[in-house]
Amino acid sequence: MVHFVGAGPGDPDLITVRGRELLAKARAVIYAGSLVNPALLSVCPADCEIRNSAYMTLEEVIRVMEACHARGEDVVRLHTGDPSLYGAIREQMDELDARGIPYEVVPGVSAFSGAAAALGLEYTLPGISQSVVITRMEGRTPVPEREKIERFAAHQSTMVLFLSAGLLPELSAALMEGGYPADTPAAIVYKATWPDEKRVLCTVAELPEAARREQICKTALIIVGRVLAGRDYDRSCLYDPAFTTEFRKGSQER
């Protein structure tokens, strides 16, 4: 069986208990070496075969999974953050389906959760934004026309951009052209939850200069939206004394 496991955003403590237990008994591990913290591999048994998928093609990854399956061994496929976001797991699962090899997915803490924690940020503040757009700039991987940054920017909701730290002049221009005022708060979080994490607060217009100054061009998330200012939001209904829920009767007191 193949276990697709989310490694979390960097700090080795941020893998799930289930993920760590699978690593601790793994016979074979294929990890995404460009971003997964290798410290996570220290719990693997001494005789575990460990491969870095940064040097492998999809075909090579599948061949290793097939060989392990034939020997009756489980494989842990360790992906950064949560595997469901930009993880290229669908293509692996389809190849495994075609070969009748069973698999499961163990979720992980995505970098976008790690970045919010690093900033002490709530993405969904009442009265400001109740939606988070997770997207990316087009790079070598195309983005559908209907998902262009300008189109999402028209909503002025909270936006989290993966895989875009090297394209900030274009991103900043597209965000403003799409509808965010130039002074909309923005943040760059580099290597969230790693020891060398950096957090930079700026505005949408200042994004390219802020990244240049801090020499950030990869392994970062860009966060945009008025939730970053953290002001002028409404209190939650859930914890309002006057609000009645399934669990609590509201009163007039404050």
Q: Which residue is nearest to ligand SAH (CB)?
A: 81
Kindly identify the residues of this chain, within the stretch 61-90, that bind ligand SAH according to CB under 6 A. Answer: 79-82, 85-87
Does position 19 bind ligand SAH by CB under 6 A? no
Nearer to ligand SAH, 53 or 69 (CB): 53
d(CA 93, CA 235): 43
> What gap in Å lies between CA 141 and CA 12, rounded to an integer?
29
- DSSP class per residue in 192-248: TTSTT-EEEEEETTTHHHHHHHTT--SSEEEEESGGGT--SPPPPSTT-TT---SS-
Binding mask of the shown chain, residues 191 to 230, with x at each position contacting ligand SAH by CB under 6 A: xxxx------------------------xxx---------
| Residue 194 tokens, joined | 């790693």
92 in contact with ligand SAH (CB under 6 A)? no
Q: Within positions 26 to 65, which residues make up the interface with ligand SAH, using CB under 6 A?
A: 35
For position 3 contacting ligand SAH by CB under 6 A, the verdict is no
12 counts as binding ligand SAH under rule CB under 6 A? no
Nearer to ligand SAH, 82 or 138 (CB): 82
| Distances 62 to 52, 57, 174, 218 between C-alpha atoms, Å | 13, 9, 38, 28
Give yes or no for residue 14 binding ligand SAH (CB under 6 A). Answer: no
Which 115-134 residues touch ligand SAH, going by CB under 6 A? 115
B/e letters for 89-99, b = 16+ CB within 10 Å, e = fewer, are: beebeebbeee
**Interface residues toward ligand SAH, by CB under 6 A:** 9-10, 35, 79-82, 85-87, 110-111, 114-115, 162-163, 189, 191-194, 219-221
